[in-house]
A and B are shown apart, each in its own frame.
Chain A
């Protein structure tokens, strides 16, 4: 840790999948007073880390000690027949690893937020493989960068300015030597930051991608437009993609969660694979939560699978659509839920939330969220990368060490330690 007085350098921002690690944090006594280099969201995350904090464990809204809250959580878990463990994308790797252990000893289902964001990306990769990219390589080499169904200006504010619109070893002038394009169904704040905006009709992503594939393969198409774009323009785009020296496609939820879902991603992967017969291309999902990539990674090495895992038989089984949290809840299957570092009540569809409201929920999170209002047990946690250390994975797979810059509030501990306490006492109960 580079520490100058109370200034910390090269701090990793634990908000979005960019995991910018050049943040300078200044601490004055017990307060974070300044964040240099971070975007507006990052500043809010660090300087505002004490806002809206849950500081006190509660059971049914009544303040209790940490031990009492854990005791009640363990009672709920031990008496449940079908526990759902969910979340895990906004915390660090060790908390995730403890969650799998808890799922294994209780025979539960464990799922992370992938199932409601880039789940289709994984299903697409299961069809076709994954031809990925790496952020420094994009900066050094890419002369054509395309964002598809993504709005980095809002969701990943430094993605373009910090990683992409920067000079690299072989791209000396990032304005002249590198084209940045955006494909989306509407104008967004990102539109202003790119060199070219391609507006396609809603729900035509798959058609447009397949058309590009056909054109790249040299097929002549007897149509005048696809997805609202003139075929002449599509031909010109296909040629540009084929003749780029090094291309990268970044895609967001606009592609994964729109009509076609995993088929869109499957087609996009095949498009990139086809292009590699001509030149060099890669693609990368714009992962949202800062450590959702890490959640997939830890889950995969521990269980063999990236999300949607059931331990009911004493070993991991994988079935998206079946062991995914929303589907489980919509079917009314879980009789209790342990939620860690996510806010399902805010993001899940109504039927899933309705079932959530009818079962005991244990919620571990640093802050108050909509799920805490509904949870029977609330346990506050330290914020990884600010109040405790840990590890996380950037959207391109780079692991980074998260540092602690300030003590957590009195009595508040990391979620991994809360989970360890639960496991310890469960092992006693279940013997």
Chain B
């Protein structure tokens, strides 16, 4: 079904291959970028419009029971956003938490082709695979949560990193995961006791583990296995003024982890906008005294190379906060005076305290929200190396992924920032250096932070995030000529063009044109299958059968996701982890 194509006369931004705005042809055959297209290839004249690899989003909550609970409890956020069916595409709703089909189509319309769901309770993975059946047009990955699982605690308590690595390997294979997610290690477990953790060495009820031993243990296990994506990390103390310091402490703690050798980075700090709040000089750690932590954290980022990060930008307006950080969600509910609809979803053994959901509106006129908004922008505009950063809103936490064009406009256009600084609370200016920052991201910078860097961070850069020979033919064409368009001066054009790609090709198939999706194709799911040595493999089978039979309320043999839900979607990547010792 994939065609042979030559995309002619596009102005190409392909930073992974050192191409910054060159007019060139892109040849596509059988879903791949090739040197030369076959003679019968169809030519498409792009007339000087901008061409990039398909967008890569490693952190967007688009799958799972938390989404469904949010949709069920808040139908009002979708009611006025219908997504009608066409003869070729299914219908749905397209508000801040779109339904499954609409999710795929909305991403395609923006030129995105790869999206990772970063919070999978592994024991519920079957449901996620079923949902993916109904999310079209994407390459998808799932990151199971290991941070508050009783099984993780058992291995960490015993200092058995080999056992922990084997548990991770077993789970990735049995349920089809791409990498490893950690959320508030120990804190969500403590939430089963109505408690939380904040310091690195705080106690976790019933277990001889600490946030430090859990986060370093898991990060090390990920490295020992040689997983392509480093530990994806949501730290403790989320959303607390002054937490930029505790976040840096946690990143410092993770420095002790030895990299596997393939990559320098051993941790990905996610949604830094929620993790890097400062306080004013001599201020207290409360919302009254909150200040941007952007500059402090940019300095730390420039000096420390063992981690990558993403923004988790807040975008104002209605959002839906949902994290595996149950106690944080409860504190957000209390912040609304107990008025908000608070949901909490415990998961057997793996998340005893429960993930939480609270609808939340970020107000431009709220001092706290304005400061949080400015902090991540100040950070993004103050760092040197963009290859360790990707753009995100932590959809739908900071706002829906539909707001990416707005985020891009803030980064690309000083004029746009000035317009917004007029609209938001004055603390944004008073408690940050944003007003003095002249820097504007170039299109090349945008191509790095929305394609190339996220693909590298995920360890998928062989086939994703670039347009070199051998890459998957995931291509986005934007309907403006970069040589003739001054986006910095015309932020409205940024909003217009990045909201609706002129063409999106997924695996060589044109799925959308001018933002209208006319083709519904199955998504694919990328998974990692670490191969363990025989001794460790036998040991983990035995130990997990014993623990899972004792702790879960369903049968051990019913834990894995059966092949029948996977084999037609899955692209497994086998990696050699036989060096991990039993």
- B316 to chain A: which residues have CB within 8 Å? none
Interface flags for B346-365 (1: CB within 8 Å of A; 0: not) read 11110011100110000000
Report B84-128 residues with CB < 8 Å from chain A CB: 84-85, 90-93, 95, 97-102, 123-124, 126-127
- Nearest chain A residue, comparing its CB with the CB of B193: A280
Assess the B126–A131 pair: CB atoms within 8 A: no
Fill in one digit per residue for B377-399: 1 if any A CB lies within 8 Å of its CB, else 0. 00000000000000000000000
How far, in Å, is B404 (CB) from chain A's closest CB? 21
Inter-subunit contact B68/A280 (CB<8 Å): no
Bound-complex Cα distance A132 to B121 (A):
15
| Interface pair A304/B124, CB less than 8 Å apart | no
Number of contacting residues on A, CB 8 A? Answer: 68
Is B330 in contact with chain A by the CB < 8 A criterion?
yes
Within residues 133 to 147 of chain A, which ones have a CB less than 8 A from any CB in chain B? 133-137, 139-141
Minimum CB–CB distance from B523 to chain A (whole Å) comes to 14
Could you tell me how many residues of chain B have their Cβ less than 8 Å away from some Cβ of chain A?
72
- Tell me whether A303 and B92 are in contact in the complex, defined as CB-CB below 8 angstroms, given that A10-B557, A131-B344, A134-B348 are known contacts: yes
Residues of B within 8 A of A304 (CB): 71, 75, 78, 92-93, 95, 97-99, 102
Residue of A whose beta carbon sits closest to that of B352: A137
Chain A contacts of B353 at CB under 8 A? 280
The chain B residue sitting closest to A298, CB to CB, is B130
Interface string of A169-206 (1 = CB under 8 A from B): 11000000000000000000000000000000000000
Q: How far is the CA of A141 from the CA of B65 in the complex (A)?
A: 23
Candidates B75, B342, B352, B556; contact of A141 at CB < 8 Å = B352
Give the dominant DSSP class at A's interface: mixed
Q: Is the CB of A401 within 8 A of B562?
A: yes
Set of chain A residues within 8 Å of B555, measured between Cβ atoms:
9-10, 21-22
Interface residue A389 (Cβ < 8 Å from any Cβ of B): yes
Interface residues in B511-565 by Cβ distance below 8 A to A read 550-558, 561-562, 564-565
Q: A303-B92, A305-B75 are in contact. Are A93 and B551 (CB under 8 A)?
A: no
B82 at the interface (CB under 8 A from A): yes
Question: Which residues of B have CB within 8 Å of A45?
Answer: none
**Contacts A129-B73, A304-B75; A134 near B554 (Cβ below 8 A):** no
A79 within 8 A of B: no
A170 to B551, CA, bound (A): 11
Contact across chains for A132 and B345 when beta carbons are under 8 A apart: yes
Contact B345 A136 (CB under 8 A): no
The answer to whether B206 and A170 have CB atoms under 8 Å apart is yes
B551 engages A169 (CB within 8 Å): yes
Q: Are A314 and B341 in contact (CB under 8 A)?
A: no
Binary contact readout A300-327 vs B (1 if CB under 8 angstroms, 0 otherwise): 1111111000010111111000000000
A-chain residues with CB within 8 Å of residue B78 when the two chains form the complex = 304-305
B199 an interface residue at 8 Å Cβ cutoff?
no
Whether B75 lies near A126 (C-beta < 8 A) is yes
Assuming the contacts A10-B555, A21-B554, A398-B123, asked whether A282 and B346 have C-beta atoms less than 8 A apart, the reply is yes
- A391 near B553: Cβ-Cβ < 8 Å: no
Smallest distance from the beta carbon of A111 to chain B beta carbons, Å? 15
Encoded as 1 (CB less than 8 Å from any A CB) or 0, chain B from 185 to 198 comes to 00000011110000
A125 and B68 alpha carbons, distance in the complex (Å): 12
Task: Say whether B134 faces chain A, with CB atoms less than 8 Å apart.
Answer: yes
Q: Does A235 contact B (CB under 8 A)?
A: no
Residues of A within 8 A of B127 (CB): 297, 391, 393, 399
A125 & B558 in contact (Cβ 8 Å cutoff): no
Q: Is A365 an interface residue (CB 8 A)?
A: no
CB neighbours (8 Å) of A140 from chain B are 352, 551
Of all chain A residues, which has the CB nearest B83?
Answer: A315
A339 at the interface (CB under 8 A from B): no
Q: Per a CB cutoff under 8 Å, which of B73, B83, B123, B358 touches A125?
A: B73
> In chain B, residues 208-238, which have Cβ atoms closer than 8 Å to a Cβ of chain A?
none
When chains A and B are docked, how far (Å) is the Cα of A304 from the Cα of B84? 13
CB distance from B62 to the nearest CB of A (A): 10
- Considering the complex, give the chain A residue whose CB is closest to the CB of B100: A301
Question: Closest chain B residue to A318 by CB distance?
Answer: B75
Query: Residue A397 contacts which of B74, B91, B345 (CB distance < 8 angstroms)?
Result: B345
Does the CB pair B192–A137 fall under 8 Å? yes
Does B24 touch A at the CB level, under 8 Å?
Answer: no
A424 CB to nearest chain B CB (Å): 15
CB-nearest residue of chain A relative to B342?
A129
In contact, A133 and B346 (Cβ under 8 angstroms)? yes
A338 to chain B, nearest CB (A): 19
Nearest chain A CB to B108's CB is how many angstroms away? 18
Interchain nearest-CB distance for A406 vs B (Å): 18
- The yes or no answer to A336 lying at the interface (CB within 8 A) is no
Q: Which residue of A lies closest to B205 (CB)?
A: A170
Q: Which of B84, B127, B131 has the most CB of A within 10 A?
A: B127
Which residue of B354, B357, B558 contacts A400 across the interface (Cβ within 8 Å)?
Answer: B558
B303 touches A (CB below 8 Å) = no
Q: Mark B123-145, 1 if CB is under 8 A from A, else 0.
A: 11011001101100000000000
CB distance from A212 to the nearest CB of B (A): 16
Chain B residues near A135 (CB-CB < 8 A): 348, 553
The docked-state distance in angstroms from the alpha carbon of A311 to that of B99 is 14
Which single residue of chain B is at the shortest CB-CB distance from A130? B343
Contact assessment for A128 and B130 in the assembled complex, using a CB-CB cutoff below 8 Å: no
In the bound complex, what is the Cα–Cα distance between A245 and B78 (angstroms)? 38
| A305: chain B residues within 8 A (beta carbon) | 71-72, 75, 78, 93
Q: Is the CB of B192 within 8 A of A141?
A: yes
Is there an interface contact between B557 and A316, defined as CB atoms closer than 8 Å?
Answer: no
The answer to whether A313 touches B558, judged by C-beta atoms less than 8 angstroms apart, is no
CA distance A246 to B357 in the complex (A): 20
In the complex, B411 has a CB within 8 A of chain A:
no
How far is A311 from B564 in the complex, measured between Cα atoms in Å?
30
Closest to B131 in A: A301
The answer to whether A127 and B341 touch across the interface, beta carbons within 8 angstroms, is: yes
Residue pairs across A and B with Cβ atoms less than 8 A apart, 7 shown, are A9-B555, A137-B348, A302-B90, A303-B92, A306-B72, A311-B91, A399-B124
3 closest pairs, A vs B, by CB?
A129-B341, A304-B93, A136-B348
Interface of A toward B, CB cutoff 8 Å: 2, 9-10, 12, 21-22, 93, 97, 101, 104-105, 122, 125-137, 139-141, 163, 169-170, 245-246, 273-274, 276-280, 282, 296-298, 300-306, 311, 313-318, 389, 391, 393-394, 396-401
Beyond A9-B557, A315-B85, A318-B79, 6 extra complex contacts between A and B, CB < 8 Å:
A10-B555, A163-B553, A245-B193, A280-B192, A297-B68, A301-B99
